[in-house]
Amino acid sequence: MSKELQWGGRFKEAPDLELIAFGSSLDEDLVLAPFDVACSQAHVAALLGGGILSQAQATELNAALNTVAREVAAGAFAGFARAGTFEDVHGAIDARVREITDAGESLHAGRSRNDQVATTLLLYARDRAARGRASCAGIAKRALARAREELAAGTVVAGTTHWQPAQPVLLAFWLGALAEMFARGARRFARVEDDAARFCPLGSGALSGSSLRLDRAAAAAALGFEAPSRNAMDAIGTRDVALDLAHACVRAVVDASRASEEFVMWCTPAFGYARLGDSASTGSSLMPQKRNPDPFELVRSQAAALNGTYAGAVGTTAGIALSYHRDLQTTKALAIGVVEKGLASLRAFARAFDALAFDRERMAARAGDGYTVATDLADALIAGGESARDAHATIGRAVAEAEANGTPLHPTFDAEASVRAKKTVGSTSPAAVAAALDSLEKELITFGDSA
C-alpha cells in the first residue's frame, strides 16, 4: 500500500487511484494546513502527557512540525501535497512529518482523522470568525464615521420604500442603518468565535475515545479551548460551528448586497446621488463613456451564490446518522468555500464603499420629490385633533390636487423641516441620529480593532 495513505493494512488490492482522487479534498482544505500543524503539536502534548511518547520523540516531532509550519507559510508545502496521492491536507502533513523524522510513525497514535479534522476545523473557524468580526466592525465604523460627516453637513435624502419616494431622511440616518446592520454581523461572528473555543474534540478518536492515556486537557489548553469535548461521538460528527460561521458570512454578505443594490442605483444618472471613484469602477470594452460599479454588482451576486452553497452545506448533514460519515467532507469543503468567498466579498465591499462619494446637493434637491412630506402634514392634522383616517384622506386629496397642478404640497414645509419635525427615539431627527451614533460607537469599541 502507498505510504501516502494512512490506512491499508487489511487490504490486499491497491486502491483505485481515480477513486482516491474523487474522494480527495486536498484542494479545498489546503487552507487548513496551519491549523492542522497546531492541532498535531497539541496531540504531541497529549501523547507526551500520557507517557506514550518520550521527551526525545516529542522534541523531534515538534521540530518536524515547525519545519512543516515554515513550509506552509512559505507556500512550499502546497507543492509537496499536490505532488502526492493524498486524501486530504491532514494525510499530507502526516506524510511530510514521517519523511522528516522516524518519530513521525508515532504521531497518529490514539488519533483518528475524525477528531483531527473536527479540531482543525474549529481552529479555522475561530480564526476566520475573528476576521469576519473585524471586517463587519470595520465597515460599521466606516459607515459611522461617514454618518457623522453627513450629520454635520445636514445632508437630506429621499428615503424610499418599494423604491418609491417615501419620507425625507438624513443621509446620516441611512448610514447609521448601514452601520447597525454590520454591527449585528460582527456580533454573529463573535458568537461563532466563542463557540469555536469551547470544547476540543482532539482525543475523541474515531467515535468512542481512546484506550491510550491521552492528556486531553493538555491538548485542549495548548489550542486555547476551554475544555476537552464531553462526548466523543458528538464531537467528531458535528459541523455546527463551521455551519454557523458560514451562516454568519452569508448574512453579512447579504447585508452588503442590500447596500450594494442601493449604491448601484444611486450611481446611475437617473439618481445621481453618488459616484464611484475610478479606482473601484470598470469600463466597457465597447462603449467609451461607461463607468460601471462592478464591485457592488459582484457583491450582490455573491450573496445569492453563497446562500445556495450554504444551503448545500447544511443539506449534506441532514441525512447522516450520529458519528462520522464521509458526507461531512463535502460539508467541510462547501463551508470553507462560503467562508473564503464571503470574507473576500466583505473586503471588496469595504474598499468600494471607501471609494464612493455622495452628491449632497443632488440628494437635497430631490429629497422632497414625490411629496415625501405628506406624512408629516397628516401627523400635524392628527396632532390638531383630526382622526388618523380623516387626516390620511385629507392629505391624500391634497397630494392628488398638487400633482395635477404641478405645485408643492405645502409652501414652506420642506424636506429639512420634515426631518426636524420627528420626535421619537430612533427617528431621523438630528438629535435622535446623534444619540444613536453615540450609542453604536460605544458598542463597536467592544469588537476591538477592525480590518
How many CA atoms within 13 Å lie on the side-chain side of 104?
A: 22
Dump strand ranges (E) for 88-217. 156-161, 164-170, 199-200
DSSP code for 358: E
Nearest residue to 174 via CA among 433, 439, 451: 433
DSSP code for 88: S
Residues 6+ apart with CB under 8 A from 261: 296, 300
Of the residues 162, 211, 279, 285, only one is catalytic, namely 162
SS3 103: helix
How many CA atoms within 13 Å lie on the side-chain side of 253?
A: 31
Cell triple for 127: 480564526
Dump strand ranges (E) for 36-191. 156-161, 164-170
Distance of CA 404 to the CA centre of its chain: 49
Q: Bridge partners of 274?
A: 358
Nearest residue to 322 via CA among 236, 202, 196: 236
Q: Is beta strand 227-228 parallel, antiparallel or unpaired with respect to 199-200?
A: parallel
Residues 6+ apart with CB under 8 A from 296: 260, 261, 263, 264, 276, 349, 352
Residue indicated by cell numbers 464615521: 145
How many angstroms separate the Cα of 148 from the Cα of each of 144, 325, 360, 433? 6, 52, 14, 9
Asked if residue 248 lies in contact with residue 192, where contact means CB atoms within 8 angstroms, the answer is: yes
Residue 153 sits at φ, ψ, to 5 deg, of: -80, -15
**What is the C-alpha end-to-end distance of the chain, expressed in Å?**
47
Measured over all CA atoms, what is the biggest interatomic distance in the chain, rounded to whole angstroms? 93
Q: Which amino acid is at 7?
A: W
Residue indicated by cell numbers 448601484: 264
Residue 85 sits at φ, ψ, to 5 deg, of: -110, 70
Q: Is 418 a catalytic residue?
A: no
Q: Is 392 a catalytic residue?
A: no
State how far the Cα of 269 lies from the Cα of 362, in Å rounded to an integer: 11
Of the residues 284, 301, 387, 439, only one is catalytic, namely 284
Find the helix or strand (DSSP H, E) in which 48 lies: helix 33-49
| Active-site residue set | 162, 284
